[in-house]
Structure 1
């Protein structure tokens, strides 16, 4: 029998600032290469929400993209071993950049490396949940990334979108904010003149009439609109609303402004 969930999760964007626990996911193209400067503004917004009383978890891609220049490569490698090498180098640099920015506010970040498989292993699942809960209790801001040196499936698919949804469910987040290099979901790829912005997606909407685009123009990530929608649907099915918005608008997103695409959460549970 299905029963209605009693929850204080946001039902509209304007309620995001009052969320108890927020998961924010940012993609590779938004924090690497020419966009590495966006880390500062991203951290500003996260710290603002953190200071206002929300518990914040950041799921960040970007290890491979960050590591590529240090390996003297011209672009994203196609072979798995070199991708893993780039991730091993880039993860260290990426976390350093985040912590350097958080240091401006005296906020301590923690690095958590997970795979989707960890969420499926009961022992790993429990350990990750316990560690994240303790970090949040200590007012530490966790930064979660896929463990690209071992997570071969995640390297090829999803650019952490699926992992962000799984982490949201793991920590019982009140809202998931998926940041992208586009400002919202569109009925067709945004480059199509006939594309129209989708402001609201009801939980019952399967989006069968939407044509999804591929990886963004930067070409350094592995996600796309399709992976973000799949992640949003996964979180929404667990009762977690989702906002898809542009990385440059993260402050507006966390402030509850009417931007991006809002995915309604399922209000019923088994």
Structure 2
């Protein structure tokens, strides 16, 4: 079954903050360089690649010398503004090393909920892919809010990556995180935890096995990844959740190696 993943043409890669920022708060430059190399090589093979990248607040905290994540929304938004500029500067530098052009796309939830703006952003993404450009997508953290009468946040980039996969009709979402896949329990505290290699349905029992806390420098958690997987299953696409410590794992995933957890419907691979 997994061998069919190599047929995926349009691929969304989601990289989490934990794969971009070391536990001590400094930037994982080696990981970013490897990611740029891998995605450029895939683009050179003729694949259409979209990168959904977290890390704006984490990079901003590093640049401003902050040890703890700000608690107020204005502070977080200011740190994100600093971090997003620095993050794109790093990405541009590393991708240009491999002669790959990138573009920045910042989104809020209302953009994809309103038909006209959703059409516009979809057209933009399609044109970038047509020109061989890799869009680097993030939530616009400097303006996103979550209030009763005006919700513009996606919640986290797990959801954003699944939505990007939906609106671009991507064949595959590869979600790189700080865990090897989806387990029956937290493997760091339960040695009996079992790694699920394939999941065809997000059931209440599956959801109960997920935690809900992200890292100090990012947001989200396993329950968020399951929610994203549910979107992917509803779109009859496929998603692989794997450890992003070494981005070259993407090559192995596309080669059909049994890495991480594959979320897919039974008939998904008939479409690829």
TM-score for both structures, normalised by structure 2: 0.87
Distance in 2 separating the partners of 1:116 and 1:162: 10
What RMSD over aligned residues (CA atoms) do the two structures have, in Å?
Answer: 2.0
Return closer, same or farther for 1:26/1:207 CA change in 2, 3 Å cut-off: farther
Which SS does the other structure have where 2:95 is aligned?
helix
The residue aligned with 1:45 is 38
2:173 to 173, 176, 181: 176
1:196 to 194, 197, 200: 194
1:128 to 102, 121, 145: 121
Distance in 1 separating the partners of 2:119 and 2:155: 23
Distance in 1 separating the partners of 2:124 and 2:52: 15
After superposition, residues 1-270 of structure 1 pair within 5 angstroms as 12-32=1-21, 33-34=25-26, 36-37=28-29, 38-153=31-146, 158-191=155-188, 192-203=190-201, 205-206=202-203, 208-209=205-206, 210-216=208-214, 218-247=215-244, 248=246, 249-265=249-265, 267=267
Contact 1:42 1:251 in 2 (8 A): no
TM-superposed CA distance for 1:194, in Å, is 2.0
Distance in 1 separating the partners of 2:6 and 2:267: 20
TM-superposed CA distance for 1:253, in Å, is 2.3
Distance in 1 separating the partners of 2:86 and 2:6: 31
Give unpaired runs (5+ residues) of structure 1.
1-11
TM-superposed CA distance for 1:155, in Å, is 9.7
Residues paired across the two proteins, number: 255
- Give a deviation string over 1:76-116, Cα, whole Å, max 9, x none: 11111111001100001101111111112110000000122
Contact 1:237 1:266 in 2 (8 A): no
Distance in 2 separating the partners of 1:118 and 1:155: 8
TM-superposed CA distance for 1:34, in Å, is 4.2
TM-superposed CA distance for 1:66, in Å, is 0.6
Contact 1:188 1:211 in 2 (8 A): yes
Distance in 1 separating the partners of 2:263 and 2:209: 17
Distance in 2 separating the partners of 1:132 and 1:43: 19
TM-superposed CA distance for 1:21, in Å, is 0.3
